[in-house]
Chains A and B, each alone.
Chain A
Amino acid sequence: MMSTAIELQALTKRFGITKALSDVSFSIRQGSVHALVGENGAGKSSLIKILSGVHQPDGGAVRLFGQDFAPKDSAAAQLSGVSTMFQESQQVSNLSVAENIYLGMEPRIGPFLDWSRLMKQAGDLLGRLGIEIEPGRPMATLSPSEAKLIEMGRAVSRNAKVLIMDEPTANLNQAEQQILFRVLKQLNEKEGVTVIYISHHMQEVFDLCDHVTVLRDGQHVATLDVADTETDGLVRLMIGRQMEAYFPTIAAPAQGEPRLVVSDLAHPARGLDGASFEVARGEIFGIYGLADSGRTALTNALFGIQTGFAGAVRLDGAPFAPTSPTAAIEAGVILVPEDRKLQGLMLDLDLLHNFSVGNLGRFVSNGLFEKKTALEAANTHIQRLRVKPNNAYALVKGLSGGNQQKVAIGKWLNRDFRLAIFQEPTRGIDVSAKMEVYEVIKSLSEAGVAILVLSSEVLELMGLCHRVGVLSGGRMTATIERADFSEHAIVSAALPRRRA
């Protein structure tokens, strides 16, 4: 009954001089949902890459159901019953759902694909797991969350005994997460699949998992029964230091004239249908909404990414309708975008460049770029934000997610601004980077900046914000004061409602 699915014995992995894993030993019980937590760089990804056959260990051994397990590549790992869902989905978008599930093992009649059997098999499998997706749909039409579900189905089709899920909820909204959790439960309880679950979200660990292993700096810190632990204790183990609280203490904002007044902002084609709200100087105003709530259009309107919105926006009393990001920035608005790699950073360039690009004008005299001044500024930001590596000439692509996010924020610290918009400010970054991001947001608020935080993490909004507005169907359906915060109040206001 309580047999062991996977046992790690003194697993060690080096990359050059960096020890990614040193002497890691623990075991995972059959049939459990086992969480793997730790900061970025703790060794989680090295560990799952070894288990999925992408990397081979430099020392130690893995046993899978009592047998030696040393897959030479990912195909070998799958054959032995270990499937992995990486963060980037690995599917063929121009094939159907069914073909993706059975890719490489499709039922055939002679040399030809047995299309009807393929559809039936896939339909049965999806039905068994409670996944409501037509097997004939082209993969390209699936949302990222649906694609994740298909990957889970694919693992089952391959008779996976162990499924490794690497931050499966990173880009999903709450409703999509609930579906994924339901399928995960089905997989685990009905199909008997052992799950290794990597997550940054403590709440998921407590909701879904029965055991948790904490890694830190490539070493095994603890493996615990989830029932015997709580958030603070777990976070403390991860960061290896005492922590007063996860979120900074937010002072009450200064009373006075509102900095930002949005009245009836609308653009029906983009999903905004008359949103109204106000943000005071120094206020951290959270915005919660599902993917189609109009949250993207709202940001686009305020940062000048799109134009043509009806309604009015006033910034410090003056009408504000930016026609480009340049215009928004000049008016004192900055954006930390949700996709830092795509929208926020020049990955192939160095920290110096990335920091200076938020305000090139500050480092220019007579048309020439003053590298020395920019270097001083970059080093100041590196110190203040504790960016690693501590080297202005390091390329941004080599940084961890948390450090990249610090750079995406830091580039704005070269200028004065009145309104800061943060989209998913801590997505996919480790706990200590999160806390540092929260500290920056707090200090901006104390300096009088009005702050909008758009996040799909309810707990983050509750911990960080003075007030939370809930967007649903393009309108602000609720504005909740800090004293009245509850997960239920926020999430229920976000659900789409029927219009009269």
Chain B
Amino acid sequence: MHEVDVPPAATKSAGSLRRVVSAHTEEFLLAGVIVALIAVGGFLSPVFLSQYNITSVARQVSFDVMPALGQLLAVLAAGIDLSIGAVIRLAQMVSILLVERVPLPVAFLLVMACGAAVGLVNGLLVVKGRLEPFIVTLGTWTILDGLSLLVTGGRGIAANVPDAFAYLGRGTVVGIPVPTLIAALVVIIMSVVIHRSSFGRQLFSVGSNDLAAHYAGIKVARVRVTVFMLASSLAALTGFIMAARTGAFQPTTISSGGAGTELATIAAVVVGGARLSGGRGTVIGALLGATLTGVLFSILVLAGIDPYVQSLILGLIILGALLLSASRRSKS
């Protein structure tokens, strides 16, 4: 007996309001947790709520949100992109290498082209090579990090960044960091792409049932390749702005904390309610998920907790969120 007759809602507006609330319970919950975390942070240390700290957390969270949206795209299409962190690092390196040699717009376009090219390769390997996204992007992750190490010889590189470039990473507009403004713009654009566009409908179709999508006339391969290209491009954009902020690239991040980026993006989308098997997830969820993990880590740092504990906590968050979504699924 799986049939339950749902009577038509008594009034349209009441029905749609109830629908909005019930469809977004998780988002409201997440927002509540974030507010609570901020309160805890403020309680732990008055510095946490200082303007300086808020600005720096906002900037940091922006660097988490953009790649998380890329991961969201991959996950919605029933895939995963493990190469996102490596693309960020590659883009940082390329930005530092180019920024003194070519005009800024050219550097930007080249960096974005690098990202798109990686996504194209990922997508074609998945679609034409019929390989699992997990395996393909694990491969590109390793290759790209190898490439970054090879080019830099494992040594840090730095550039004398032009002011315009530095502004992208360090500047503020009425107190709001420029990276945060860029991330906000990306969030808006991605909301439209994912939730309002025809492409978004195709994306959800492919992620929910790719065979049925194929039989409905959706060009599944094209959707998949586009997804990987968009995900890598968002990672490249993130790397470009990160380079603008630091003016340097430290390949040691590859062997130490750098690998956390992939997991951080997965944690963000999973905490945000996306389902790893595809077809379910929201931009607002990923945004809140990335914000939550970002705020949590800044509190951990502030509380003087061992940085190595952070990756432990990240893993626990991912598992916890997966368990939560599994129990929710079995309930429904």
Residues of A within 8 A of B (CB): 15-16, 18, 20, 40-41, 43, 45-46, 303, 305, 324-326, 328-330, 335, 337, 342-349, 353, 356-358, 360-361, 363-364, 367-369, 388-391, 393-394, 398-400, 403, 411
Question: Of all chain B residues, which has the CB nearest A411?
Answer: B216
Inter-subunit contact A348/B280 (CB<8 Å): yes
Interface residues of B in 204-251 (CB under 8 A from A): 204-205, 208-209, 211-219
Q: A353-B204, A357-B218, A367-B197 are in contact. List 20 more A-B contacts (CB 8 A).
A: A41-B3, A303-B215, A325-B215, A325-B217, A326-B217, A326-B219, A343-B215, A345-B212, A346-B209, A347-B208, A349-B204, A349-B279, A358-B217, A360-B218, A367-B198, A368-B192, A369-B196, A369-B200, A391-B6, A400-B3
In the complex with contacts A18-B4, A347-B209, A349-B279, A335-B215 CB distance below 8 A = yes
Contact B201 A353 (CB under 8 A): yes
Q: Given the complex, which residues of B lie within 8 Å of A345, measured CB to CB?
A: 209, 212
Interface membership of B92, Cβ < 8 A: no
Within 73-113 of B, Cβ neighbours of A (below 8 Å) are at: none
**Which 8 A-B residue pairings sit nearest by Cβ, starting from the closest?**
A346-B208, A329-B217, A389-B6, A364-B198, A20-B1, A326-B217, A346-B209, A391-B6
Q: Is the CB of A337 within 8 A of B215?
A: yes
Q: What's the least CB distance linking B331 to chain A, in Å? A: 12
Chain B contact-residue range equals 20 to 34
- Secondary structure at chain A's binding surface: helix, strand, loop or mixed? mixed
Q: Is B128 an interface residue (CB 8 A)?
A: no
In the assembled complex, B202 has its CB within 8 A of some CB on chain A: yes
Does B2 sit at the interface, judged by CB under 8 A? yes
Contact at A368–B6, with CB atoms within 8 Å?
no
* B208–A41 CB distance below 8 A: no
Q: How far is the CA of A257 from the CA of B208 in the complex (A)?
A: 41
Most B CB contacts (10 A, CB to CB) among A16, A393, A394 go to A393
A/B interface sample: 21 pairs, CB < 8 A? A18-B3, A20-B1, A43-B1, A305-B215, A329-B217, A345-B212, A346-B205, A346-B208, A346-B279, A349-B204, A349-B279, A353-B205, A357-B205, A358-B216, A367-B198, A367-B199, A369-B198, A388-B3, A389-B4, A389-B6, A399-B2
Given A348-B208, A357-B218, A18-B1 contact (CB < 8 Å): yes
Say yes or no: A390 contacts B279, CB within 8 Å. no
CB distance from B326 to the nearest CB of A (A): 15
Closest to A390 in B: B8
Known contacts A388-B3, A400-B2; is-contact A344 B215 (Cβ 8 Å) = yes
Task: State A357–B138 Cα separation when bound (angstroms).
Answer: 32
A356 to B7, CA, bound (A): 22
Residue numbers in A under 8 Å from B198 (CB-CB):
360-361, 363-364, 367-369
**Nearest residue in B to A365 (C-beta to C-beta)?**
B198
**A residues near B211, Cβ cutoff 8 Å:** 342-343
When distances are taken between beta carbons in the complex, the residues of chain A under 8 Å from B19 are 393
Instruction: Name the B residues within 8 Å of A388 (CB-CB).
Output: 3, 5
Contact residues in B for A20 (Cβ distance below 8 Å) = 1
Q: How far is the CB of A456 from chain B (nearest CB, A)?
A: 20
Q: How far is the CA of A358 from the CA of B110 in the complex (A)?
A: 39
Contacts A342-B212, A345-B209, A367-B198 known; A398 to B2 CB distance under 8 Å? yes
Whole-angstrom distance between the alpha carbons of A363 and B199 in the complex? 12
CA distance A343 to B210 in the complex (A): 9
Contacts of A399 in B (CB 8 A): 2-3
For B192, what are the chain A residues with a Cβ–Cβ distance below 8 Å? 368
Within the assembled complex, what's the spacing in Å between the Cα atoms of A399 and B217? 24
Set of chain A residues within 8 Å of B219, measured between Cβ atoms:
324, 326
- What chain A residues lie within 8 Å of B202 (beta carbons)? 360
- The answer for the CA separation of A310 and B209 in the assembled complex, in Å, is 31
Q: Considering the complex, which residues of chain B in the window 264-309 have a beta carbon less than 8 Å from any beta carbon of chain A? A: 279-280
In the assembled complex, the Cα of A437 lies from the Cα of B204 at a distance in Å of 27
Report A-chain residues with C-beta under 8 Å of the C-beta of B212.
Answer: 342-346
Q: Which residues of A contact B197 (CB under 8 A)?
A: 367-369
A-contact bits for B1-29, CB 8 A (1 contact / 0 none): 11111111000000000010000000000
Residue of A whose beta carbon sits closest to that of B9:
A391
CB nearest neighbor in A for B219: A326
Least CB distance from A187 to B in Å reads 29
Tell me how far the C-beta of B282 lies from the nearest C-beta in chain A, rounded to whole angstroms: 14
Q: Is the CB of B208 within 8 A of A349?
A: yes
Decide if A41 touches B204 in the complex (CB within 8 Å). no
Query: B221 — nearest CB in chain A belongs to which residue?
Result: A324
Within 8 A of A (CB), among B183-198: 192, 196-198
